[in-house]
Amino acid sequence: MNPSPAFGVLLVNLGTPDEPSPKAVKRFLRQFLSDPRVVDLSPWIWKPLLNGIILNTRPAKVAKLYQSVWTSEGSPLMVISERQAQKLTVDLSATFNQTIPVELGMSYGNPSIDTGFERLKAQGAERIIVLPLYPQYSCSTVASVFDAVASYLKTVRDIPLIRFNKDYFDHSAYIAALAHSVTRHWKTHGQADKLLLSFHGIPQRYVKEGDPYREQCFTTAKLLAQKLALHESQWQVCFQSRFGREQWLTPYADQLLAELPAQGVKSVDVICPAFATDCLETLEEISIGAKETFLAAGGSDYRFIPCLNDDELHIELLRQLIQEQALSWV
């Protein structure tokens, strides 16, 4: 009988539809947009709007967007996440001189967070480190993961010992990995007039109610700019993926990109530091849609810098985060 591992790791990301079809997208959006951490409007207002309008009109449009980035292997987010888990397993096992199981759990879609826990349990893991792949904390992402973990624990008699990583927006290994990604891009493509750091947006109201996300995004941006020795005129923060009519964090990425050419900025490099893995929001919204906006406004050169994905320095960052959490367990 194999000895139980010292601990197991649950890597958590947002998730993806099972396939790029309207039916699968509708199933995914229903789960995603029903999370009160994501949309905290009164159910009496939100549910009729969600079920009566959004889920009957949006899935077909979103499915077409997924089809534009889907690969022969499947959803980019899922394919890359699986590579991250595989590489991290190798690195952790070498670090701790034993097999450390790593499983995926998605907040929405498959495999679920419950499934990830059950797979770790089947491998004998009685201590589990939960690592949400969101560098900056937000109630709409990290807290949602925590809620799902708590919901799972309510269903089991003998709960595992849990350690939960809240954020890593200013971790030195994270900033180093981002800087390496940018400098590697510059060596190949040259440096643009401006580096845009596009973070996923959240409603402005969340920040007023205590969410630290905006502050953490700007801290990440400033640390990266310092690491790259950039003047303040050479970089700028913006926010993407707004939804609904409520005021979200500004400046909005699409509006900024439409304005920059008139300000004399003809070339931009765009990186999305809030995303650990390339997905629809980076591969379609930023790499394709935002590029069209910038060029149509008079820009001449638009270059997207991929997410950290399964890059060696990114896996090293994740290994360090887990090793820090695992102190006293091994």
Binding-site positions for Fe(2+): 200, 281
Q: What angle do CA 268, 311, 174 make, to 5 degrees?
A: 75
Could you tell me the end-to-end alpha-carbon distance of the chain, in angstroms, rounded to an integer?
20
Task: Judge residue 208's burial from the number of C-beta atoms within 10 Å of its C-beta, 0-12 exposed, 13-18 middle, 19 or more buried.
Answer: exposed
Cα–chain center distance at 246: 22
Q: Are strands 267-271 and 235-240 parallel, antiparallel or unpaired?
A: unpaired
CB 80 within 8 A of CB 309: yes
- The contacts of residue 124 (CB under 8 Å, 6+ apart) are 2, 3, 4, 5
Residues that constitute the known binding site: 200, 281
Q: Is the dihedral of CA 185, 188, 191, 192 positive or negative?
A: negative
Beta bridge partners of 277: none
